[in-house]
């Protein structure tokens, strides 16, 4: 080995603690990049394989009652590869040991046990073959403690049936199983149930007919053309509008989650790479300053400027290699663990885990490039040193008395305090970069905490202000609003309000969107439209109220006219004026006044949902009465919806906050520890001099600790601004048709972030402070600095 190579290894051994602190920060960026892309790839590959192996459909359509003889004509539509019809319907369930009403989505099961599309995977037991036998989703069976052979009762179109479980299954159609009107999955209160085709057809009066259709398309099919042709065929039979896989509820939720993972990979890792580059630059600049004599000797011995530059770049590269290695190992483990967690949550039957080689290569190259960039200035500085100049001690900084010195003198500050302030003034660039690094740590905690505050805001708007009813009673078909009086006679019902839901397509020229239009009475108090500012808004009579995200997609504003094609009722197309916009976080809402809609349809007042307020003690009696109520398709308890939402969110947010707090501590340790070590190496003679002059250890330590903690305090406003910016970027990247994340920044989030960073800064500098106690004053005073 050449002398310069031996020096490289010795320098690396001497700086291994500082190098490790930098490598850990760099490893965080690499690990998050691998984790996000690894989970994204795993979920994408698993979903694609699951869909392909189990022939998940690409187009879906619902109708009131379409004859089976229509199927050959549907299969002849250009672009259709295969088509399968079935019968489906909602049922109220009476489950043993459960007081509350449960709901089930009933699906017909072919007599030959060989569905053409959306093929379930049998997990236990057998397929249903005889009357009274059913197969249920695995999550529904596990949540209710069902075993093969257990029975429960269902209200099928007004008839009570005893059903026996013969098997449990998973289905690509229900990766994310969510009931109508629900915000989160409720595996105990809602399940998918397959029943023999003949029995379900008889129960819902569908002999020789179907009300749901699934299609697979050819590779060259144009989906829009298939949808139009399918709508034309089903329109006479009450077609509710065909839609593609992207609008299928389960796939839409899974796709939104996968897109969030990709957004996290874009926003977060660059922060760690930037901090690592700053740390490397800070450490390497100090090393070059201390190595002036060695650089002069190396050049005198014939080493070129390029070799000197490469020497310091290689030292930085060794740090990068350690960081990349740690990041690859940690990222692979995290990606696998979290991908399995997602797979269980979304009910995938298996997980195809892999992190593409290009992700490893990209993360490694990004880490190496940012580290080299951070060390480049120091390497060039070493190359520019002339041997004669390098052999001499560096010229002391030029000192000029400024207004700040006069202010400090007038304030009669302690000498140690003046030393701290002068150090910040003498090295403004380094001080600013240190503040930036510590600010980034604060921003990491804020960007995680904001999510908790945003979700708390969503919960408050949804469950405390908008959906204030205790339950939603769902009817199988529209009923006269006189049914409100029947609801009021049920046990424990104190208040009832009507509501309608209508599937419709909104069009503005070439732009269109399939939505569910909600109709409420004017002045409704149980289910209200609430703006982002918490103000209740009544849809104005004679117009339609749109959520701002829906209006943006349709490119309409207040006063514009929309073409609204209704898929329910008379299935008419009407023009409606956009009477207002409202900022909302759930779905793409469209709202009208219920009386206006009834007049538009030229019919008597009707309702499809009854919102009710319940006296809590009478809840068991209400459930018992509803289980035998005809024309009822289900009951949604808002309290259970909220509990499921909060449980899932609190668990996820706790994990995220913990991870980001650890990340912030690692960033802080990397910045504060390295900064304190550099200060100690630069000011060793000064500190030793103070000790010789009679200053106590506490007073001398105040110089080192005070400078780091002052920088940490000054970094907090910078971190608050950076955290707000990152939170805004994350909120924007998480927005989809299903939901939007509001930008909510509470003072407690900023306070918690600052507390974490300040505590970590103090801990880091106290580790370095111990070196002052062990300082050999004689040896320190012999050094040239």
In a domain, 70, yes or no: yes
Judged by DSSP in three states, 528 sits in coil
* pLDDT value for 252: 85
* pLDDT value for 167: 95
Strands 133-137 and 209-217: unpaired
Question: Is the same domain home to 505 and 645?
Answer: no
Indicate the Cα dihedral angle 6, 8, 9, 15, nearest 10°: 140
In a domain, 479, yes or no: no
Most confident of 196-210, 305-319, 378-392, 624-638: 196-210
Mean pLDDT value of segment 664-686: 72
* pLDDT value for 421: 77
> What DSSP character marks residue 237?
G
Q: What is the pTM of this model?
A: 0.75
Question: Is the same domain home to 220 and 79?
Answer: yes
Q: For a pLDDT cut of 90, what percent of the chain falls above it? A: 21
Query: Which run of H or of E encompasses 418?
Result: helix 415-426
Question: Is the same domain home to 563 and 664?
Answer: no
Q: What is the largest CA-CA distance in the chain?
A: 103
Q: Which of 597, 614, 631 is the last residue of a domain?
A: 614
Which phi and psi angles does 511 have, rounded to 5°? -90, 135
* pLDDT tens by residue, 230-241: 989 998 898 888
* pLDDT tens by residue, 350-371: 888 888 888 899 888 988 888 8
* pLDDT tens by residue, 439-486: 888 887 887 777 777 877 877 777 778 888 888 888 877 888 888 888
* pLDDT value for 682: 67
Mean pLDDT value of segment 319-343: 85
Question: Is the same domain home to 37 and 125?
Answer: no
Binning pLDDT at 50, 70 and 90, where does residue 201 land? very high
Mean pLDDT value of segment 598-621: 87
Binning pLDDT at 50, 70 and 90, where does residue 774 land? low
Question: Is the same domain home to 346 and 313?
Answer: yes
Sheet of 209-217, strands arranged across: 80-86, 209-217, 59-67, 243-244
pLDDT above 50 for 605: yes
pLDDT above 70 for 280: yes
In a domain, 175, yes or no: yes
* pLDDT value for 572: 85
Question: Is the same domain home to 607 and 697?
Answer: no
pLDDT above 90 for 417: no
In a domain, 34, yes or no: yes
- For residue 351, what are the domain limits? 1-59+244-392
Q: Which residue has the higher pLDDT, 224 or 404?
A: 224
Count of all residues that appear for the chain in the document: 785
* pLDDT value for 779: 60
Question: Is the same domain home to 51 and 64?
Answer: no
Summary mean pLDDT of the chain: 82
Binning pLDDT at 50, 70 and 90, where does residue 179 land? confident
Q: Is the dihedral of CA 600, 601, 605, 606 positive or negative?
A: negative
Mean pLDDT value of segment 744-768: 85
Q: Which residue has the higher pLDDT, 766 or 654?
A: 766
pLDDT above 90 for 57: yes
612/638 Cα distance (integer angstroms) = 10
* pLDDT value for 580: 86
Mean pLDDT value of segment 664-692: 72
Most confident of 629-643, 690-704, 713-727: 713-727
In a domain, 3, yes or no: yes
Question: Is the same domain home to 64 and 159?
Answer: yes
Q: Which of 579, 614, 649 is the last residue of a domain?
A: 614
Which phi and psi angles does 569 have, rounded to 5°? 60, -125
* pLDDT value for 785: 46
Contacts of 767 (CB under 8 A, 6+ apart): 673
Question: Is the same domain home to 776 and 672?
Answer: yes
Binning pLDDT at 50, 70 and 90, where does residue 650 land? low
Minimum mean pLDDT range among 5-9, 310-314, 510-514, 725-729: 5-9
In a domain, 102, yes or no: yes
Question: Is the same domain home to 88 and 6?
Answer: no
476/490 Cα distance (integer angstroms) = 18
In a domain, 729, yes or no: yes
Q: Which residue has the higher pLDDT, 372 or 415?
A: 372
* pLDDT value for 218: 93
Most confident of 57-71, 235-249, 262-276: 57-71
Mean pLDDT value of segment 595-608: 88
The pair of three-digit structure tokens given for residue 169, joined into one six-digit string: 């299954």
Q: Which of 614, 630, 650 is the last residue of a domain?
A: 614
The pair of three-digit structure tokens given for residue 301, joined into one six-digit string: 């011995």
Q: For a pLDDT cut of 70, what percent of the chain falls above it? A: 90
User: Tokens 């199988």 map to which residue?
Assistant: 476
pLDDT above 80 for 200: yes
In a domain, 668, yes or no: yes
Mean pLDDT value of segment 159-188: 87
* pLDDT value for 55: 94
Binning pLDDT at 50, 70 and 90, where does residue 781 land? low
Distances in Å between the Cα of 579 and the Cα atoms of 286, 351, 510, 543, 549 are 65, 48, 21, 5, 15
Are the C-beta atoms of residues 165 and 209 closer than 8 Å to each other? no
Supply the DSSP string of 123-158, one letter for each residue.
EEE----STTEEEEEHHHHHHHT--TT-EEEEEETT
Number of domains in the chain: 4
Question: Is the same domain home to 647 and 507?
Answer: no
Question: Is the same domain home to 184 and 250?
Answer: no
């Amino acid at each position: 080995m050449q002398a310069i190579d031996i020096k490289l290894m010795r320098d690396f051994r001497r700086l291994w603690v500082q190098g490790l602190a930098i490598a850990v920060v760099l490893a965080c960026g690499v690990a998050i990049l691998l984790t996000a892309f690894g989970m994204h790839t795993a979920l994408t590959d698993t979903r694609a394989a699951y869909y392909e192996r189990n022939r998940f459909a690409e187009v879906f359509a619902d109708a009131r009652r379409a004859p089976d003889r229509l199927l050959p004509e549907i299969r002849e539509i250009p672009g259709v590869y295969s088509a399968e019809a079935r019968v489906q319907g909602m049922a109220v369930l009476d489950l043993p040991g459960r007081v509350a009403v449960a709901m089930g989505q009933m699906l017909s099961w072919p007599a030959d046990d060989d569905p053409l599309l959306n093929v379930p995977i049998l997990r236990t037991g057998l397929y249903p073959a005889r009357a009274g036998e059913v197969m249920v989703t695995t999550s529904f069976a596990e949540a209710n403690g069902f075993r093969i052979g257990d029975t429960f009762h269902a209200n099928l179109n007004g008839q009570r049936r005893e059903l026996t479980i013969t098997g449990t299954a998973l289905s690509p159609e229900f990766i994310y199983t969510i009931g109508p009107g629900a915000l989160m999955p409720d595996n105990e209160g809602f399940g998918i149930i397959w029943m023999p085709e003949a029995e379900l057809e008889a129960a819902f009066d569908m002999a020789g007919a179907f009300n749901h259709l699934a299609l697979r398309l050819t590779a060259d099919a144009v989906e829009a053309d298939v949808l139009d042709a399918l709508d034309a065929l089903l329109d006479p039979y009450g077609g509710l509008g065909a839609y593609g896989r992207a609008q299928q509820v389960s796939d839409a939720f899974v796709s939104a989650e996968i897109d969030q993972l990709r957004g996290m990979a874009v926003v977060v890792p660059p922060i760690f790479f930037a901090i690592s580059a700053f740390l490397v630059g800070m450490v390497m600049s100090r090393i070059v300053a201390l190595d002036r004599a060695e650089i002069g000797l190396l050049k005198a011995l014939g080493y070129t400027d390029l070799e000197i530059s490469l020497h310091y770049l290689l030292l930085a590269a060794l740090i990068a290699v350690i960081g990349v290695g740690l990041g690859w190992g940690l990222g692979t483990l995290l990606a696998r663990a979290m991908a399995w967690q997602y797979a269980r949550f979304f009910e995938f039957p298996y997980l195809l885990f892999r992190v593409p080689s290009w992700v490893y290569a990209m993360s490694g190259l990004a880490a190496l490039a940012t580290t080299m960039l951070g060390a480049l200035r120091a390497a060039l500085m070493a190359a520019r040193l002339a041997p004669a100049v390098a052999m001499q001690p560096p010229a002391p900084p030029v000192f000029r008395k400024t207004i700040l010195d006069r202010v400090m003198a007038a304030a009669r500050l302690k000498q140690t305090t003046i030393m701290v302030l002068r150090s910040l003034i003498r090295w403004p660039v380094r001080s600013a970069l240190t503040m930036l690094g510590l600010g980034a740590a604060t921003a990491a905690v804020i960007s995680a905490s904001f999510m908790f505050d945003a979700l708390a805001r969503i919960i408050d708007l949804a469950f405390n202000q908008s959906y204030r009813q205790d339950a939603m009673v769902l009817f199988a078909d529209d009923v006269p609003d006189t049914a409100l009086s029947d609801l009021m006679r049920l046990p424990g019902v104190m208040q009832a309000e009507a509501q309608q839901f209508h599937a419709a397509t909104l069009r503005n020229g070439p732009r269109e969107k399939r939505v569910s239009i909600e109709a409420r009475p004017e002045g409704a108090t149980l289910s209200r439209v609430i703006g982002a500012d918490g103000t209740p808004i009544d849809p104005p009579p004679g117009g339609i109220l749109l959520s701002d995200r829906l209006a943006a997609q349709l490119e309409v504003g207040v006063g514009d006219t929309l073409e609204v094609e209704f898929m329910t009722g008379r299935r008419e197309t009407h023009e409606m004026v956009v009477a207002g916009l409202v900022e909302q976080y759930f779905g793409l809402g469209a709202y009208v006044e219920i009386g206006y809609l009834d007049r538009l349809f030229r019919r008597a007042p009707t309702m499809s949902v009854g919102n009710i307020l319940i006296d809590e003690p009478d809840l068991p009696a209400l459930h018992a009465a509803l289980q035998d109520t005809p024309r009822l398709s289900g009951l949604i308890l808002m309290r259970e919806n909220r509990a499921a939402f909060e449980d899932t969110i609190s668990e996820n947010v706790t994990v995220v906050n913990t991870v980001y707090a650890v990340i912030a501590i690692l960033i802080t340790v990397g910045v504060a520890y390295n900064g304190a070590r550099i200060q100690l190496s630069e000011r060793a003679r000064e500190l030793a001099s103070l000790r010789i002059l009679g200053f106590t250890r506490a007073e001398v330590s105040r110089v080192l600790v005070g400078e780091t903690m002052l920088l940490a305090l000054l970094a907090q406003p910078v971190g608050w601004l950076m955290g707000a910016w990152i939170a805004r970027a994350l909120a924007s990247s998480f927005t989809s048709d299903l939901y939007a994340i509001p930008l909510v920044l509470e003072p407690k989030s900023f306070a918690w972030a600052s507390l974490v960073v300040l505590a970590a800064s103090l801990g880091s500098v106290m580790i370095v402070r111990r070196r002052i106690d062990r300082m050999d004053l004689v040896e320190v005073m012999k050094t040239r600095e």
